[in-house]
A and B are shown apart, each in its own frame.
Chain A
Amino acid sequence: MGDGPGVEGRRVVLGLGNLLNRDEGLGVHALRALERRLGPEPEVELVDGGVLGLNLLPVVEACSHLLVLDAVAAGEPPGTVVELGRDDIPLLAGVKLSEHQVTFQEVLGLASFRDRLPATLHLLGAQPQDLRIGLDLSAVVAAAIPPIVERAAEILSAWRRSVAVVSGRPG
């Protein structure tokens, strides 16, 4: 992270996932689609978090607004758009067999434990269909990208309004 604004007012969209496992990479695909829609000056930081695990802790802890784009196994039909608010995302830190096994929920769990979870936090994604090796999204999950981008843009607009109120500046 470079010299940006402080934690307060720093707004980040974080796309997560492994692009080599088809729908697992949904969050990164959605981030790229959102980037195209927002144009050259997106007013938020767009971060491709890939599979960086614990390296994402400083990113998460250094913002006040965080939108996470990710594949979510929610037991819904494939392609169903899933959205979870700050208090609905299960956090955890627990037993694992390898240091090479940090899930993003654990990153959120650690941020929460350290009292540094962003005040505004959304998780947006879709139920994956196919996690086998492959570079493209399955058709049903690819069809979920436009509504995800649409919803993400709405969330960002709401952020802009709230930040404008807080700072007293026009959004």
Chain B
Amino acid sequence: MTRLVVDPITRIEGHLRIEAELDASNTITQAYSSGTMVRGIEIILQGRDPRDAWAFAQRACGVCTTVHSFASIRAVEDALEIRIPKAANLMRNLMIAQQYAHDHVMHFYHLHALDWVDVVSCLSADPAATSAIQQSISPWPNSSPGYFADVQAKVQAIVDSGQLSIFANGYWGHPAYKLPPEVNLLAVAHYLEALDWQSHVTKIHTIFGGKNPHPNFVVGGVPMPIDLDSDTALNAERLAIIGDSIGEITRFVDQVYLPDLLAIAPYYLEYAGLGEGLGNFLTWGEFPGEDPNDTSQLLVPRALILDRDLAGITEPDPRDMEAMKEFITHSWYRYEAGDQVGLHPWDGETVFNETGPTPPFEELDVEGKYTWLKAPRWNGTPVEVGPLARVLAMYAAGHEQTVELVDSVLATLGAPIEAVFSTLGRTAARAIETKVFADHLRTTYDELLAAIQAGDTQTFNADRWEPRSWPGSAKGFGYMEAPRGALGHWVVIEDGAIDNYQLVVPTTWNASPRDAQGNPGAYEASLVGTTLAQPDIPLEILRTIHSFDPCMACAIHLVDASGNEVAEVGAGLHVHADG
């Protein structure tokens, strides 16, 4: 038999590369984060009709396909001073809340859980003991010993079938796995259940946007009329489908996701002291009320937190030309005014300046330019964006449910508030906000029903649809708190066409390179100080980088103190099989 090597071709949005240096005790002393694929959407958008921008911008990603559309239509509406109808705002908020639940549950079970859960270990679990744990943490119905024995048999069958490659890419058996077999079995069962759940919960996007992924959008509202008697509009039947879908979402979050987090976290409390990084956080805010310009109506506040100071929370103004800037000193771009200056996105420039090295290469030139990501900074300061930033913003602003959830999770874990500034804190924050937003989904749905009953069924405002109604020059800012963090679009419109358009995406904040002052970005800072048990399989790095939920596939490159390569971890999944 000949040996056949099958090397799957990766289909991914871009690549992230981490280069880390280790000292003699295998502790990370420096880390560098590099985006190795260029985006270029900004260039494609120049000269186009701003009403079309969302359709191009949403293609910045093939997975989180709504976030760039929302940021784009909001930017154009901001520039042209378009107010969307009440029902349209509620429908958008439903789509956004659903996106959080879907994205976060899948991130936890499908991506992040395997950093903490040893799948193979569940073979030695006692299903009756797993059943007892399940019944003690939640009323979820799939809890019998027989149910868990079936799951265990499935894993056993895969192992016995010789299709071991399904597990070969895991780090099973790594000493950093700490869960007892029974908890591993619990998590594997829910990993499988989440796959069914996720295929049922995208209905809100499909109904409001016509299809999913990549639903349809419109500047001025939502592209879906409300008419209870029409087959082609949002009618009673479709509202009922959405209501059922919301029930499925909240049940899973309440009875599976949050209880699982609390069941797993106690075994990994060391990660409550690791992986913090910057201690600075930024949110643009989310879930606007009826007046989109009134930031006091946002459920997630627009907030800046510096140096962990929750009492000193302030509101950042994305229109502030001095505070909000992107730097390219270490990025493969050129600014007309030189590489040391920062530019506000309305003045942003996207001119490529790739300086090498030419692939394939061993190491990046981190003294020079080393990434396609720019370095966004707030008053020169690097910040972290994402679930932890949002939960801290809601906590600092005194949002009652968030305060209760954070305090009860900390009490369960016996951890102080400082524990949230960590890898574990980031992961817990993701579950906490999922609970808050899933409940908000229900509240928003009830508000939509009440609005429809009150006759508030307009979903589109056509007042400023025609370009002749626009000012000659206009500037706008649009935001969305994407699942992985604060997303901003800045647009400049001249004579009815896009003159400049800049996206500052969450992973640009988090995976940013050093800036002109040499300050590292969030990923770079978060890895320093982490000690690796086995540098050739750097599970500890995966845990921290995964806790940010990167929007790119990634490769990790480790070198020791003398510059020798320790490991090159292709998270790009290479398979070699006999055939």
Contact = CB atoms under 8 A, between A and B. Distances in A.
Partners in one complex: yes
Interface of A: 17-18, 24, 51-55, 57-58, 71-75, 84, 88-101, 103-106, 109-110, 112-115, 128, 131
A74 B66 CA distance: 36
B9 A84 contact: no
A98 B551 contact: yes
Interface in B100-123: 103, 106-107, 110-111, 114
A98 B165 contact: no
Given A90-B575, A109-B166, A96 B6 contact: no
* Chain A interface main SS type: loop
Contacts, number: 143
A100 B553 contact: yes
Instruction: Give the interface centre of B7, B12, B168 by most chain A CB atoms within 10 Å.
Output: B12
A95 B166 contact: no
Tier of interface size on chain B: 35 or more
B398 interface: no
B6 A103 contact: no
B571 A88 contact: no
B173 interface: no
Nearest to A94: B169
Interface of B: 4-13, 16, 61-63, 103, 106-107, 110-111, 114, 154-155, 157-158, 163, 165-171, 192, 195, 198-199, 213, 542, 545-546, 549-556, 571-573, 575, 577, 579
A99 B8 contact: no
B16 A97 contact: yes
Contact of B61 (A100, A106, A115): A100
B166 A91 contact: yes
A49 B198 CA distance: 18
A20 B10 CA distance: 13
Given A92-B168, A95-B542, A113-B158, 8 more contacts: A53-B62, A54-B106, A98-B571, A100-B61, A100-B62, A105-B575, A113-B192, A131-B9
B170 to A, nearest CB: 5
Contact of B167 (A58, A84, A94): A94
Nearest to A24: B9
B111 A96 contact: yes
Contact of A51 (B5, B11, B110): B11
A98 B6 contact: no
A114 B192 contact: yes
A103 B4 contact: no
Contacts of B573: 92, 94-96, 101, 103, 105-106
Contacts of B4: 74-75, 88
B158 A99 contact: no
Nearest to A70: B9
